[in-house]
Amino acid sequence: MRTTTYFSLVLAMLMASCCAAAEQAAKAQLTRPTPEQAAWQDLELGLFYHFDISVFAENGEENWKKLGHLDPNVYNPAKLNTDQWLKAAQAMGARYTVFVAKHCTGFISWQSDAYPYGVRQSKWRGGKGDLVADYVASCRKFGIQPGTYCSMPANAHCNVFDNCTVEGATGPKDPRQIEYSRRAEKLVTELWGNYGPFTYIWFDGGTLPPEKGGPDLVPILKRLQPHAVTFQGPADSPAGNTRWVGNENGEVAYPSWSTVAQSGQAGAGDPHGHVWQPGECDAPLRNHDWFWRPNRESKIYSLAELVEMYYRSVGRGCNLILNANIDRDGLVPQADLKRFREFGTEIRRRFGKSIAETSGRGQLVELALKKPTQIDHVIVMEQISKGERIRKYVIDSYVGGKWTELCHGQSIGHKRIERFKPVEATKIRLRVTESTAEPLVRKLAVYHVG
C-alpha cells in the first residue's frame, strides 16, 4: 500500500514537473512587444496632421511631382495655430499625433540647413517660422504624445520620385545619389535631434538600405530617438515597428494579430509569426483626401462610419489614426473639427465607463454583476507584455439560471470588442478553448451601449 502511494506521489510530481517545463517552454517561445510597442498599443487613437506647400497649389496633392520647385512664398498660413490642432485631438480622444514635417514635395517645415526649400525660404513669419517647434510645444501643452513623418522614398525638390533613388542616377555610387542620401541624413538629424523625444516616427514606404544607395538612418535613430516606435521603419529599429494593415479605410480583417512572419509584412498579422509588429489602421477624415482641398466637406465621413471604423480597428486589437486636413489658413476646418468632437463624444459615451470589470488568468475568467443587468458589449484585453496567448475563446452569459453563449472568436491581443443583442445577465465568463500558454486576461468588462 505504501509502495503504491509512493509511486503515485512520484508520478504526480513528475507530471507536474513536465507540465511546468512545457509551460516554461511555451512562454520562452512567445513573441513579445518591446515596452515602447506595448505603450504605443495602449494609446489606441491617433490623429495625423497633413500640411504641405501642395495645399497652396491647385490640384497639389495629385501633382506633387511638379511642386518640388514651387515658389516657397506661396506658403503663408496666416492664421496657423497648432494649439487648435491639438484641441481637435483632445476632443477626439486621441492620445498621440503625427505631423507630416516633410512630404513628397520636399518642402521642409522647420528651420533646416539640409537644402534651401522650406519655411526658411518662405515669407511666412518672415522666414523665421518653425512649424515643428510649434507643433511639439502644443503636444507638450496638451499632454498628447508627439510623432513625426518625414518621407524618405520621395522628394520632388531633389528629383527623387520613388524608392529613395535620384532620377537618372546610375547606382549607389552616383554623386547625385550620394548627395541625396547625405541630405536625407541631415534632415532626420535635425528633425529627430532638435525637438526632444518623439513617441512615434512614420517612415511611410520604408527606406532604401545604405548598401543600395539609401541614407544610413538606423545609427541616427538609435542615437537620437531610441525609444520611438516606427511605422515601416528598418527591421532593426531600436523600439520596434508597427505595420500597415493594407488599406486606408480605417479597418483590419479579423482575426487580427500583433505578430507577423517577417518584418515589413502588411495585413492582419500571423498568429505563428516571430516578429512583434502591431497594426495601425489609417484613414483621412475626408474620404481618401489626405491634404486639404477647397469645397470637399461632403467627403467627411459620417459619425456612424467613424464609429464603425473604431469597431473594426481598435475593436480588433489595432490602433486607429485619422487625418486632419489642415487648410490654407493653417487650421483644422470647422466642419472637420465638429466631426472629431462628435466622434470623441460618442466613443466616450459607449466605452468611457464599464458596468463592471475584472481581470484574471487561466482558461476561465468569470465576472459577477451586482444584480441582473442588461448588457450588449464585452471588452476583453490580454496582458500583451507577456505575448498573445489566446487562440480561440467563447463568451457566455448567465441568463435564466443557465449559461448561454453570447459570442466566440479567435484573436484578442491588446483589445477585442464584442457586440451582440442586449441580454439581461447576472454574470458573464470568458472560456478560452485554445491557447499557447496560460491565458493572462488584463481586462474583462461589460457595457450597455443601447
pLDDT digits (tens, 9 = 90+) for 111-135: 999 999 999 999 999 999 999 999 9
pLDDT digits (tens, 9 = 90+) for 232-283: 999 999 999 999 999 999 999 999 999 999 999 999 999 999 999 999 999 9
Q: What angle do CA 89, 95, 98 make, to 5 degrees?
A: 70
Listed residue (285, 255, 275) closest to 413, CA to CA: 255
Model pLDDT, residue 58: 80
Q: How far is CA 410 from CA 175, 256, 316, 317, 416, in A?
A: 53, 9, 10, 12, 10
Q: Is 194 helix (H, G, I), strand (E, B) or coil?
A: coil
> What is the number of helices (H) and of strands (E) in the chain?
8, 18
Model pLDDT, residue 22: 41
Mean pLDDT of 406-415: 98
pLDDT digits (tens, 9 = 90+) for 64-80: 777 888 999 999 999 99
CA distance 373 to 291: 46
pTM of the model: 0.92
pLDDT digits (tens, 9 = 90+) for 142-192: 999 999 999 999 999 999 998 999 999 999 999 999 999 999 999 999 999
Percent of the chain with pLDDT over 90: 89
